[in-house]
Structure 1
C-alpha cells in the first residue's frame, strides 16, 4: 500500500487506534466498524475486527482503510455480542497483513483477541527470551510479544496472566482484549497512550479517543487510569489498579497533532488546548503582520488562537484537496513541487500583498514546510512568517509515534536561524516547551515531552534506539 509522502511525510505518523464494545443485543460488528471509522486518523495501513459470541471468536482484517477492508457482507457475517477493532500504522514491524490486528490466538484459557496501541521498549529482550523458550512468532510486531506472554502465564485466571505480563513489559500500551465471554481494557502504568470508557444503554465501550464514543452514541464515563485493568462481562464492570508508574506521562503530542479536535482525554479537550497553544504562540511572537493562515487541517485551531490573541485577521489562505487521501502515490522526484500543489492550493486573493503568518503544528524534516512557504511567497505575499504550535522535535519517540530517527529531524541538527533559511521564511518561531506546558496549568507535570526534551520516562535500550528489532 502506497503512503502519501506529499504532506504527511513531514509529520509525526499517527500510531494506532483501538476500540472495543460489550453489548448483548446490539450489532457490535457495525458499531465497531463505526468506531474504527472515527479513529481512522490514527492509522491507515490496516484495519481489523474480531467478534465473540460466547463460544468462539470470528476475525476479519485486511490492508487499507476500514472502508476498504469491510463490506456489508462481511459485517453481516459476524455473530456475537463482544467486538474489538484496530486501525494500524506501523511503528514497529513492517506493513503487511500478518502484522494487522487484532491478533487472535488460542491458549489454555480459550480463544483471545488483542488490539494494541503503543510500543514496548524492552521488546528485543522479551522476544529473544520467548524465542529461546520455544515461542513461535508469525509477525514482527511487539504486540505478539504481549500475546505470547499472556499465553505463557495462562495457568491462572486471565486477569492474573495480564498482570504478570504487565510486570514484564516496559513502555507504552493501551490494550483492548476480548475473550469468548468478556471484554478487557488495559493501560500502561504511565498512561502514555490514551484509552477511555463509555456507556451506551447497557453496553460498555472502550476506545482510544472519546470521539469514537460520540460516533456510536455512547456517553463518556471516564478515562482508563494508568496501570488499570477493566473487565466487562455478564456480571458487569470490575476494575483493578494493579501497577503505578513513578509519574504520569501522557503523550503531549496527542494534543498537538495526533488526536481529533473533538476528543477529550485525561481531563483536557483537544480543541481548547490547541486554541490556547495558538494564543501562547502569539504572546511569544508578537510579529507585525496582516493575516494569520493555517496549514490545513492540523494548524487550524492553533491559527485561530493566534488570531484571537494577536488581533490579526484569520484567513483560509491554503485550500486542501480532500480527494487526495493518505494513499496518494508520491510523484517522481522532478514532480514533487507539483505534488504539494495537488494537496494544498494557495489563494492568491487572500495572500497577495500581505504580511502572512503561517501556523502549523510541527516540523519534522522541513521539506514540506519549505514548499508551503514558497507557494505563499509566489502568490505575492510581502513576508512569510512560519509559526509552530510545538517546540522543536529533537529526539525520536519510542512509545508509539513514528517521529523518524534523530538523523532525519531537522531541529536535531540545525538551529533556529538555519531552519528559517532552509525553509525560506522571513521569520520562524516554535512554541517554547514551557509555553506549551503552561497550557496545562497545574497538570503540566503529567505529560511525556521526550521528543522535545530528551527526558524519557521509561528507559530505552540502545538496540531499540538504533532501530534493531530482534528476529525481524
Structure 2
C-alpha cells in the first residue's frame, strides 16, 4: 500500500520559488501519509530528489528541505515495502538517467518480477540495483523508450513505450513518471486495481494557465484547491506537458473495473472518493449491514444485552457509528488512539505489531467496566492486534466482549501490493469462528459477509451496481489476474524461510479471476484472467546503496 503524487504547474517559466512544485508535493504527502511513509523535481536540466525511509515530516525535515527542491513539475511517493527491503535504497521515486532522465513512483505489485528481472538482465542488459518491483517497471519502461533512438521524444513515443511496458508487466499498478524537461504522466493497470485520480486548477501565479495534479486519493487534490477531479480509467494514461492541455491514451483495453475493496474497508481516508464511490458512505453502509448480520447471528434477545458499541479507531469509526444507530445502542470512543504511532498491521514483524497495539491504543475504563461490549474493527488479519485489544477491554473491566469485523474473514494472501501475510499467519485460515473467538479471547466473533461488503460499495458506484466488481482475492482465493504456478510456495518460503537476510515481502491485490489453493503447498492455479507473477524472495544485492547520479538532499547531513 503506497501513495503516489504527480504535479505539473502551468507557470513553468517563473524563476522565484512561488512556482515551485515541491511545496505542493510536500503538503500532499501529509494528506496521504496514512498510505505510508520521498519526491523528485525538475528545473533547468536537473532532477532534484529528497527521499529516505521514514515519515514525510522526517524526510523533509519538517519542510525545511523543500527550499532545496526547485522545479515546476515533480512526483512524490509514500511507501510501504511489499517487495524488497525497507531501507533508503528502495525509497521512491526511482530514477534512471538513460534515456532522457526518467523518474517513477509506483503503487501496486508486479506478479511477474522474476520474468522481468530475467528480461532486463539477459536481453535489455540493464542493471537492477534493488529488490523493488517498482525499479523493474521503471527499467522496463526506460528500455522501451530507448527503442525510439531519438534525441527527443514526443507523446506518441511515450505512449508506444508504455504499450510495450504493459505487454511485459503483469499485476496491479498505479504509477506516475516524470520525463526530464518534458512532462508528467500517470497510468493505471487494465483492471483498475490500485487507485489514481487527476484534477486541475487555475495557476496561482499566472493568469490564463492551468496546474495539473495526480494522486492516489482525491482528498490530496481537493485540499490543494484542485477541482474537476477524475479517475484515471483502467488501462489509461494521462500526460501533462508544460503549457498544454492533458493528453489521454488508452494504453491497453480495459480488462475489468475491479478496484481493491480493501481501499474502502481500511486503506483510504474517509474523505476520499475512489472510482466514484465515497469511502465514508461505503463505511456507513458496511456498518448498517454488519448490524443486520449481528442481529441474525445473535438474535434479538442477545442484542438487547449489548451495553455499548466501541470502534477500534480510526478506520472503523464510521461503520461503528452507523452500526450503533441501527442497533439503537450507545456509541462510545472507549479506545483513545495515540496519533504518533503508525498502523500496526503493516508493521513488519509480529512482535512489533503486538507492542504497537498498546503504544497506539489506551482505554477509557469507565466505558468498559461491567459492560457487554460490542467492538467493531475494519478487519481481522493475523489476530495479533485483535487479541491485544480484547485483553485491554477485559483489563478495563468488560463483562463480555463481542468482536465484529466490517470485512469477511481474510483467508488468502494479498498479491497486489498489501502486506497481509501468508496463509499460516492468517488467523481465519483453517479456523472456525468459535475457534477464532477463543484464540483472541472474545466471547463471540462476527464477520461481515462478502455479499454485504461488496454491496456496500457497489450500491454507490456510478457504474451499474449489478456488474460492478472488486478485487476480493483475500476473501475468496480468486484473483483478478491469473497467478503463476508456484507463486504462493515462493511467497511462503520468502516470508518464513531463508532468514540469512530479511527482505520485507508481502503482496497486494484486487478482485480476481485467477485462483489458487491457499497455503505453502498450493499447486493448481486457474489462468482465466490476466497473467500474474510470483513473488519469491528477492534480496537486495550486497552493497546496495542509495541511487547514483541524482542529487538527493535527504542524504545530505547538512540538510
* 1:172 and 2:172 are equivalent in the alignment: yes
* 1:459 and 2:482 are equivalent in the alignment: yes
Structure 2 match to 1:210: 218
Shift of the alpha carbon at 1:249? 1.6
* 1:310 and 2:327 are equivalent in the alignment: yes
Separation of aligned partners in 2, 1:342 and 1:32? 30
Once the two structures are superposed, the pairs formed by residues 66-215 of structure 1 within 5 Å of their partners are 66-71=56-61, 72-108=63-99, 110-133=100-123, 134-154=125-145, 155-156=147-148, 157-180=157-180, 181-201=182-202, 202-215=210-223
Q: Of the candidates 276, 279, 282, which is equivalent to residue 267 of structure 1?
A: 276
Once the two structures are superposed, the pairs formed by residues 46-445 of structure 1 within 5 Å of their partners are 48-53=38-43, 55-71=45-61, 72-108=63-99, 110-133=100-123, 134-154=125-145, 155-156=147-148, 157-180=157-180, 181-201=182-202, 202-233=210-241, 234-286=243-295, 287-288=303-304, 289-325=306-342, 340-439=357-456, 440-441=458-459, 442=465, 445=468
Is residue 194–residue 265 contact of structure 1 (8 Å, CA) maintained in 2? yes
SS in 1 for 2:171: coil
Separation of aligned partners in 1, 2:10 and 2:167? 33
Deviation sequence 1:194-215 (CA, Å, 0-9, x none):
0001112110100000111123
Separation of aligned partners in 2, 1:162 and 1:330? 33
Is residue 330–residue 339 contact of structure 1 (8 Å, CA) maintained in 2? no
Shift of the alpha carbon at 1:316? 1.1
Shift of the alpha carbon at 1:393? 0.4
Structure 2 match to 1:4: none
Is residue 17–residue 86 contact of structure 1 (8 Å, CA) maintained in 2? yes
Shift of the alpha carbon at 1:381? 2.0
Is residue 192–residue 235 contact of structure 2 (8 Å, CA) maintained in 1? yes
Separation of aligned partners in 1, 2:445 and 2:370? 20
Shift of the alpha carbon at 1:444? 6.0
Q: Of the candidates 16, 26, 34, which is equivalent to residue 2 of structure 2?
A: 16
Shift of the alpha carbon at 1:382? 2.3
Separation of aligned partners in 1, 2:266 and 2:436? 21
Separation of aligned partners in 2, 1:162 and 1:54? 26
Change (3 A) 1:117 1:187: same
Is residue 213–residue 220 contact of structure 1 (8 Å, CA) maintained in 2? no
SS in 1 for 2:445: strand
SS in 2 for 1:411: coil
Change (3 A) 1:53 1:339: closer
Q: More strand by proportion, 1 or 2? A: 1
* 1:27 and 2:20 are equivalent in the alignment: yes
Shift of the alpha carbon at 1:124? 1.0
Change (3 A) 1:336 1:210: closer
Change (3 A) 1:256 1:337: closer
Change (3 A) 1:170 1:320: same
Shift of the alpha carbon at 1:373? 1.3
Separation of aligned partners in 1, 2:57 and 2:311? 29
Deviation sequence 1:301-340 (CA, Å, 0-9, x none):
110111121111111111112343469999997x998764
Change (3 A) 1:171 1:158: same
Separation of aligned partners in 2, 1:306 and 1:326? 23
Worse overlay, 346-355 or 288-297: 346-355
Worse overlay, 305-314 or 211-220: 211-220
Change (3 A) 1:323 1:117: closer
Separation of aligned partners in 1, 2:50 and 2:371? 53
Separation of aligned partners in 2, 1:433 and 1:348? 34
Is residue 341–residue 356 contact of structure 2 (8 Å, CA) maintained in 1? no
Gaps of 5+ in 1: 1-14
Gaps of 5+ in 2: 12-18, 149-156, 203-209, 296-302, 460-464, 492-535, 541-559
SS in 2 for 1:61: coil
SS in 1 for 2:109: coil
Is residue 82–residue 182 contact of structure 1 (8 Å, CA) maintained in 2? yes
What TM-score do you get using the length of structure 1 for normalisation? 0.91
What TM-score do you get using the length of structure 2 for normalisation? 0.77
